[in-house]
Amino acid sequence: MVDSPRYSKTLIQSIEEMGGIDYIFLTHRDDVADAHKYASRFGAKRIIHHGDKSAQPDAEIVFNEEMKLGDFTLIPTPGHTKGHSCLLYKNFLFTGDHLYGRNG
Ligand SMILES: [Fe+2]
């Protein structure tokens, strides 16, 4: 899972049908929502950059620098928040709030 929605029974059922969650990558402090509940429910490990750790102080994996985790690369991109990070998987980049559009 990348970032976390609010805890929802409907979503839990869908996630169960897809096989559960191993990791929850939190791009930054704004989008942690109910990550702790999903982690507890599925035995998932939460990942967050040290700069935003205060938003998820009991996260299982805290990183400081770019790091590989299996086929994924965790890339610190501070700016929006101190610990904002992106997640690269093959040719897909989960950008969190690192990239955004403006109207007008
Ligand atoms: Fe944000």
- What's residue 98's pLDDT? 86
- What's residue 104's pLDDT? 57
Q: Report the separation in Å between the CA atom of 28 and the middle of ligand 1, taken as the mean of its atom positions.
A: 7
What total number of domains does the chain contain?
Answer: 1
Q: Is 2 domain-assigned? A: no
Q: Report the separation in Å between the CA atom of 29 and the middle of ligand 1, taken as the mean of its atom positions.
A: 7
Q: Is 22 domain-assigned? A: yes
Residue-number span of the structural domain to which 24 is assigned: 9-94
Q: Report the separation in Å between the CA atom of 80 and the middle of ligand 1, taken as the mean of its atom positions.
A: 7
| Res. 13: pLDDT tops 90 | yes
Q: Report the separation in Å between the CA atom of 100 and the middle of ligand 1, taken as the mean of its atom positions.
A: 10
What is the CATH classification number for the domain harbouring 21? 3.60.15.10
| Res. 45: pLDDT tops 80 | yes
Q: Is 102 domain-assigned? A: no
Say which DSSP state 40 is in.
H
Q: Report the separation in Å between the CA atom of 10 and the middle of ligand 1, taken as the mean of its atom positions.
A: 25
- What's residue 55's pLDDT? 97
**Average pLDDT value for the chain:** 95
73-99: pLDDT as tens digits: 999 999 999 999 999 999 999 999 988
Q: Report the separation in Å between the CA atom of 44 and the middle of ligand 1, taken as the mean of its atom positions.
A: 23
Q: Is 66 domain-assigned? A: yes
| Res. 101: pLDDT tops 90 | no
Q: Report the separation in Å between the CA atom of 30 and the middle of ligand 1, taken as the mean of its atom positions.
A: 5
Token pair listed for 11? 């979503």
Q: What is the C-alpha separation between 70 and 81, in angstroms, rounded?
A: 26
Q: Is 26 domain-assigned? A: yes
Q: Is 3 domain-assigned? A: no
Share of the chain above pLDDT 90, in %: 93
- What's residue 28's pLDDT? 97
The total number of residues written for the chain in this structure: 104
Q: Where are the beta strands (DSSP E) in the chain?
A: 23-25, 45-49, 61-63, 67-69, 72-76, 85-89, 92-94
